[in-house]
Structure 1
């Protein structure tokens, strides 16, 4: 097969926030995670410096917090100031000490160098409580909440630009779940109050690729919103930690941009596609394992509903399947960069995160290296490409037992606006066989070109990283000079970024 890339045809400019992340008060993400004041690796503010450095390396552009399901019974005022009391987190059924709140979160974002993105409580919370939070963060001196922030030692406003109204409030698992009509009414009132406080913020609201829910939301609240929030987990394992194997995961890659297409259609039908972008602000291949919590019959003893969460910490389960799926997802978001402006991998740390922490250090899981590859090697301008010849296919048996046929190669071409270099991402999903792809550049007379390949692969599909065990990382091949068409050899189960310098 031959890949044609046309640098004169621009799909769009990727927003850096497509490579965003998410962190929640769940298990070891915050406490005994990034915020661990007693750890010798933590700085004077209690933040793990090794984790912060790993986040900076992948240039985290935006970090969504504090949830997630956690936020739907979280009251932000209890976690600022000196008089903080522990509370029982009704979403995850554990005690939260409230020692990490808004001020600590903003401090963390500044250490990372990322934009804060606060998700508000639209479950047990009110529109007024949401707007009070915006007052605390964004007003200079007016009102008691700005004065409270100043009294807490933060004279300058935080100027938080991105705010989400709610989290998955359409789901019966969510505390304070809403009907479609209840939802748009709350969103509208919250948006009005928030924009009265801080007119330049950009608001998102929980949505999904359901026509009735999202149509009601857009019809009634579209003029207030800059974003609609979508979530996606494909290998669902909340109750039983039975992970899909590599080939089963490849079946999911055919579904990645389905929700984007559906919501794009709704935005276009309502003539809102120029005003509202999609924020895919919670996504991962696999859902988090947390049995006996989002069920009617709750677990009684902690060994039935808290202890099993440790299974998320098994580093051997984060393999090339996770890496390849993650690359396919990021390719899809790049191809849809005209309508998708933000995506947040969930979470960045521990649980299903791309970083795993333990007392003495961190492990960079397979998915971390995918972000490293895309953030530091791919361009910001997405180019048009087309494939000549027969497209190779991969037919696999999905986890549900059905046969699924998907494209064997997942490709996106980009250009770097600062220097004109073209970088092509090619994912080879084949579990066993290398593939060959001819790459040429239409509209360009190539008398000389320097090529350099960067790739992620493993000795097999189950390769993984753990403490003192590194099988998955970025490999950079020696540069070579070519003329005309380039023949790329793509190893089995690999993610490849090929740079072309003219």
Structure 2
């Protein structure tokens, strides 16, 4: 039995809604056959899948990052605007890119779902001039040939894109145009200068990792131009055979969620940028995407990606882990201002499309629960007698805290809204909450599954959200949360 205490008078900070952001890339079926499918009976006149639009509106997506990802490091945005678009061979993912979905379509899509557009620029084969031209196309009224081209393309009003990232994972050997420590900071500085001279109001991000040497170079050279640094993580790597961890080992990986945030925060502080530059966790997911690198035949590289669409892969492990990431972002709301689940649709996404409709995977229900039920202010909370369970044996054993909580308050009505994650694979947990006389109503919203391996698929609905009213007896509340569940307790 665990005791949970909430202090509504001690506010930790304001939660930025952009931590519920999403990411979409030109990879596999994320764009084509995902959010965009012209000719489908399920699509509107613009080619946007209406069922996907409705699903994303329901989770109130605040910001969408596009077009990559590794894709962007050989992408020229100019090929994806206007009427005369020429396909090219995408060297990142080794497939033909039609350029049918480009900047204009992305802006319309974001506008339709009510999300802020966030553009990641090409810092691989691209140039600072190419990046600044993109800012001109999107944000200037009519000055310059690129703004005029936007108007010619039918968009008189500027798109006013606020968030721009310089590069994607340019520290990595896998990235085309990868950069070394010593050259990255200078490249970012010169790119940022040109981009902000076109529009000084934009907010700039730059690809980074929780590494002191990388950030010394980046921040000493370009820090004054940056508003954010971007970090990524996928905790369960698929390997060459798409071998994914079981529920218990996924839970063991939850102890590795916060260290990258803490390290990056410490680096910002040591270099004098804490409070000036925020962290964007702008690619994250429990499971890395499956895309084996095969150097022989292209089809050997591409065909295995279909394994990403196995819905039985996405279980309560994904839901519970994702909730733990979102809880960590809340706890570090002073420095984490954006997070983007990667990806939104298909691959490892929250929504799966098929010719007849969509499947809402377990992670989708977590986003729906959190965006609809949590508050905007993080408050102090304390959890006593939180037991742990062991995963693994011997020196490899990991002690996993069973419960993970974060408490929030909704400004508009002062209700308390606490996220409670029960990571235990089999056992429910009893929780006691002293409430005094301040609250008279209690409701528990829960994402639950028939088992720890429950999943949703076409005709299979093993993961769902349920609502349960709770009784306050005296001045305390006692209730159980199911194993492998994600919950929000509302006190009003």
Q: Classify the TM-score, shorter chain.
A: over 0.9
Distance 1:478 1:215, change over 3 A: same
Question: Greater CA deviation, 3-12 or 348-357?
Answer: 3-12
Q: Secondary structure of the residue that 1:462 maps to in structure 2? A: coil
2:424 is aligned to 430
2:446 is aligned to 455
Question: Greater CA deviation, 175-184 or 164-173?
Answer: 175-184
Aligned residues: 491
Post-superposition offset of 1:401: 8.3
8 Å contact from structure 1 (residues 449, 483) kept in 2:
no
**CA distances 1:324-377 after superposition (whole Å, capped 9, x unpaired):** 000111000000011000000000000000000011100000000000000001
1:325 is aligned to 321
1:305 and 1:350 map into 2 onto residues whose CA distance is: 18
1:300 aligns with 2:294: no
Distance 1:210 1:447, change over 3 A: closer
**CA distances 1:423-449 after superposition (whole Å, capped 9, x unpaired):** 1111111101111111125xxx41652
2:261 and 2:466 map into 1 onto residues whose CA distance is: 32
Q: 5 Å matches for 1:400-439? A: 402-439=396-433
Post-superposition offset of 1:478: 3.0
Q: 5 Å matches for 1:83-482? A: 83-293=84-294, 298-302=295-299, 304-388=300-384, 390-397=385-392, 402-441=396-435, 445-446=436-437, 448-482=439-473
Post-superposition offset of 1:486: 1.1
**CA distances 1:2-55 after superposition (whole Å, capped 9, x unpaired):** 111111111111000000000000000001111111101110111001000000
**CA distances 1:468-494 after superposition (whole Å, capped 9, x unpaired):** 110101100135444312112111111
1:495 aligns with 2:486: yes
2:177 and 2:298 map into 1 onto residues whose CA distance is: 25
1:344 and 1:174 map into 2 onto residues whose CA distance is: 20
2:238 and 2:251 map into 1 onto residues whose CA distance is: 17
2:439 and 2:233 map into 1 onto residues whose CA distance is: 43
Post-superposition offset of 1:211: 1.0
1:421 and 1:496 map into 2 onto residues whose CA distance is: 16
| TM-score, normalised via structure 1 length | 0.96
8 Å contact from structure 2 (residues 59, 368) kept in 1:
yes
| TM-score, normalised via structure 2 length | 0.98
Post-superposition offset of 1:238: 4.7
Question: Greater CA deviation, 264-273 or 53-62?
Answer: 264-273
1:277 and 1:316 map into 2 onto residues whose CA distance is: 36
**CA distances 1:36-88 after superposition (whole Å, capped 9, x unpaired):** 11101110111001000000000000000000000000000011011110000
8 Å contact from structure 2 (residues 124, 167) kept in 1:
yes
Q: Secondary structure of the residue that 1:223 maps to in structure 2? A: helix
2:39 and 2:297 map into 1 onto residues whose CA distance is: 31
8 Å contact from structure 2 (residues 439, 491) kept in 1:
no
8 Å contact from structure 1 (residues 432, 492) kept in 2:
yes
Q: Once superposed, what is the RMSD of the aligned Cα atoms?
A: 1.3
For structure 2, the residue ranges without an aligned partner over 5 or more in a row are none
Q: Secondary structure of the residue that 1:323 maps to in structure 2? A: helix
Q: Secondary structure of the residue that 1:268 maps to in structure 2? A: helix
For structure 1, the residue ranges without an aligned partner over 5 or more in a row are none
8 Å contact from structure 1 (residues 451, 482) kept in 2:
no
1:268 and 1:239 map into 2 onto residues whose CA distance is: 38
Q: Secondary structure of the residue that 2:407 maps to in structure 1? A: strand
2:438 and 2:86 map into 1 onto residues whose CA distance is: 69
**CA distances 1:308-334 after superposition (whole Å, capped 9, x unpaired):** 000000001100000000011100000
